[in-house]
Amino acid sequence: MKGTEVAGALREHFGDLVSDIVFPREDLVRVSVPRDSIFPFCKFLRDELHCEHLNLVTALDWPEDFECVYHLTSYLEEYMVELHVKVPKDDPKIASLSEIWRAADFPEREAYDMMGITFEGHPDLRRILLPDDVDYYPLRKDFEGQSDE
């Protein structure tokens, strides 16, 4: 399936919720969706468009807000979706996808650990790489770690 077809199917089903559609490669579509519709959006992608594989969950710290990026792959239809979701800084919460893909479990924990974004509905949201008792989120840009200089 080409990226344009995927984008067309998404556009048809979700209308204006899907924005900023870009095609960096032929089989890759980069879209933005609002935070509230991430769960039905991913459910649609998995159930209707055969997105079996969640590659990774990236949490980004932009100056204005956080952003979650989901890379999704369909092995069957041979396309990829890159899903950008903005998360406001004063309320860093987003729906967890671990009900759709169990693969989202650990990456979401990592994003919580590193960036402090809470994934609502996650079965076991604990820190994964850092000890349980640390109270900072090291990948945030305002975290002053030790640099080598």
Partner 1 sequence: MSDMWINMGPQHPMNHGLWNLKVRVDGEIVVESIPVLGYLHRGVEKLCEKRDYNQIIPLMDRLCYVSSLTWSHAYCISVEEMMGLEVPDRAKYLRVIALELQRVASHLMWLAAFAPDLGMFSAYLYSMREREHFLDMLQWLTGARMNQNYPRIGGVRNDMPAGFPDRCFKELDYFEKKLEQYKQLFDDNKLFRMRTMGVGVLSKEDALDLGVTGPALRGSNCPIDMRTHDPYEVYDELDWEVQVGKEGDVFSRYAVRMGEMRESCRIIRDALKKIPDGPVRVKAPLRPTGQGFRRTEDSRGEALIYVIGQGGESPYRLKIRSPIFAIMRAVPVMLKGTSVADLLAIMGSVDICIGDTDK
Positions touching partner 1 (CB under 8 A) are 24, 27, 52-56, 58, 60-61, 69, 71, 73, 75, 78, 101-107, 110, 114, 127-131, 138-139, 145, 147-148
Report the DSSP beta bridge partners of residue 54: 72
- Beta carbon of residue 145, minimum distance to partner 1 (angstroms, whole number): 6
Q: What's the min distance (Å) between Cβ of 90 and partner 1?
A: 21
- 60: tokens are 């980004």
Cβ nearer to partner 1, comparing 41 with 70: 70
Question: C-beta of 54: minimal distance to partner 1 in Å?
Answer: 6
Structure token digits, residue 143: 């975290």
Rounded CA-CA distance 58/114 in Å is 10
Nearest CA to 123 among 140, 138, 142, 108? 108
Two structure tokens written together for 57:
């969950």
Q: How near is the Cβ of 8 to partner 1 at its closest, in Å? A: 22
Q: Residue 109, Cβ neighbours under 10 Å: how many? A: 21
Q: Position of tokens 């579509």?
A: 29
Report yes or no: 137 and 86 within 8 Å, Cβ to Cβ. Answer: no
Nearer Cβ to partner 1 (22/88): 22
Which one, 27 or 65, has the nearer CB to partner 1? 27
- Residue 16 or residue 132: which is nearer to partner 1 going by CB? 132
